[in-house]
Chain A
């Protein structure tokens, strides 16, 4: 089955840029989606189709996807961005096709 690999944690100072990676075999051929989850809350979609933002998500959030790595980039990081972030794809070759990465805890220093 398809595996998505994320770093367990990423730390960044306020105002700097955070990059959270999601690795997978030829992930560039898949559509990657990203979710933000704050403690005690349900996940929120922040990026879909690799780089599209839902309405209400700040332009500071952006995404890219190429080769074996997809990346969620958060510019001008704010304290309120501290959360867990998960990538997700659909694996068409599997009969259990929705795959999440293990999640990355973003800490704002």
Chain B
């Protein structure tokens, strides 16, 4: 069974840092792109970042570029999101999602999602 389990969320002060992790199992992790998607309270889905299977290609939303870094350790089947200079508007549930780009990045979608981890940025 394909499974994604996020961890690392919590309460952090504005300007602080946090690292999220996503442990993957049930599939060949290195063969798949991965994404982070967040959802602020009462709001819609917002894509945050994506990374290719090898880690050689990364993409970011404008709202987090320069502050967040996506990475992966294929030997540990784990995806990461390093979040620096956190702001109140980064408060959200952060989902890890397995990506599918077998037909090319233009056809990218996310077929399995974790349950999410909550990040709260507040003083």
Contacts and interface: CB of A to CB of B under 8 A. Distances in A.
B111 A90 contact: no
Interface in B1-33: none
Given A42-B115, A48-B100, A86-B45, A98 B95 contact: no
A101 B37 CA distance: 13
A83 interface: no
Interface residues of B, number: 28
A79 interface: no
Contacts of A84: 44
Given A42-B113, A86-B44, A99-B47, A31 B105 contact: no
Contacts of B97: 43
Interface residues of A, number: 27
Given A42-B116, A45-B109, A98 B35 contact: yes
B114 interface: yes
Interface in A50-108: 54, 84, 86, 88, 90, 92, 95-103
Contact of A30 (B37, B47, B106): B106
Contacts of B105: 90, 92, 97
Nearest to B45: A100
Contacts of A37: 45
Given A96-B60, A98-B50, A45 B111 contact: yes
Interface in B36-70: 37, 44-47, 50, 59-62, 65
B106 A43 contact: no
Interface string B72-86: 000000000000000
Interface of B: 35, 37, 44-47, 50, 59-62, 65, 95, 97, 100, 103, 105-116
